[in-house]
Structures are given as structure tokens and as C-alpha cells.
Amino acid sequence: MRLEANTIGNIDNPSEDDIARAFENREKWDMADVMGNVYTLSKGCTSLFCISGHNFENFSLRFYDKNEQIYICSSTLSASEVKQYFIRFYNDDMKWYDNLDWHLYIHKTLWERFLEKFFRN
């Protein structure tokens, strides 16, 4: 398992306290907050990823599953909500996942987007 957070750095085999600390003490991490904060918790082939907006709010959440599918949460979330989701993911508790609205992200190349825009049937 690996935690990557621009607030506290990258940690292999993080503890639950490490995860909580990444989302706490915001005033300590003002330099990271200039461009938003990025967090990833990877467990094997699955990852939970989020980015905050400026001022440590309006978090977006993404889930990468073992099939390399990317799911994006439709809601913006608070730091405390995302912290709890990361801790629950860490503890293999995925009940929270079904309580959120997700949509599948389908990556399209620039060429595919061009064709779609100009050559629709």
C-alpha cells in the first residue's frame, strides 16, 4: 500500500494515522494549497485519488478499479468526508462507495474527439 499526498509526502505502508494526518492541520500545509492538494491511496491494483480546490475544499474523488476503469464521483466533497473515505478504503470497508453517485470516465484520444465533433452520424 502507498499513500501519496503533497501535504505530507509519499509513504509506503502508511498507517491510519498517516492518512488522517494528510487531511488535517491544514494551516501547516499552506504552500501545498496554492495549487490544490492531491492525494492517492493505492492498494494493489486499486486506487483512491482526490484533488482539492484552493482553500482545502471542494474535493473531487476518483476510484481506479482492478480492471483499470476510472470512476468519478459526481459530488464535490469536504476534506472530512474524503478523509473518512480514504480511511475506510484503507480498512477494506467499501460500503461508502455505494452511497455516492459515480460515472465511468472514458478516455478519448484527440483524434476520437475530433471525429466525434465533426463527423457525427
Where in the chain are the domains? 2-118
Contact call for residues 61 and 83 (beta carbons, < 8 A): no
C-alpha cell at 60: 473531487
**CA 90 – CA 97 distance, rounded (Å):** 13
Q: What is the pLDDT of residue 51?
A: 81
Q: What was the pLDDT predicted at 89?
A: 95
Instruction: Give CA separation, 93 vs 20, 35, 77, 86, 90, in Å.
Output: 16, 31, 19, 10, 8
pLDDT (0 to 100) of residue 97: 93
| pLDDT at residue 15 in the model | 96
What pLDDT score was predicted for residue 100?
94
Angle at CA of residue 13, ends 10 and 17, nearest 5°: 80
Please give the pLDDT value at position 102.
94
Question: How much is the pLDDT for 41?
Answer: 93
The CB-side HSE value for 47 (13 A sphere, CA atoms) comes to: 15
- At 86 the pLDDT is 95
pLDDT along the chain (121 residues), means of 10: 89 95 69 67 89 73 88 90 94 93 81 73 53
Q: In what order do the strands lie in the sheet with 38-43?
A: 9-12, 2-5, 38-43, 46-51, 60-64, 70-73, 102-105
- The CB density around residue 114, as the number of other CB atoms within 10 Å, is 11
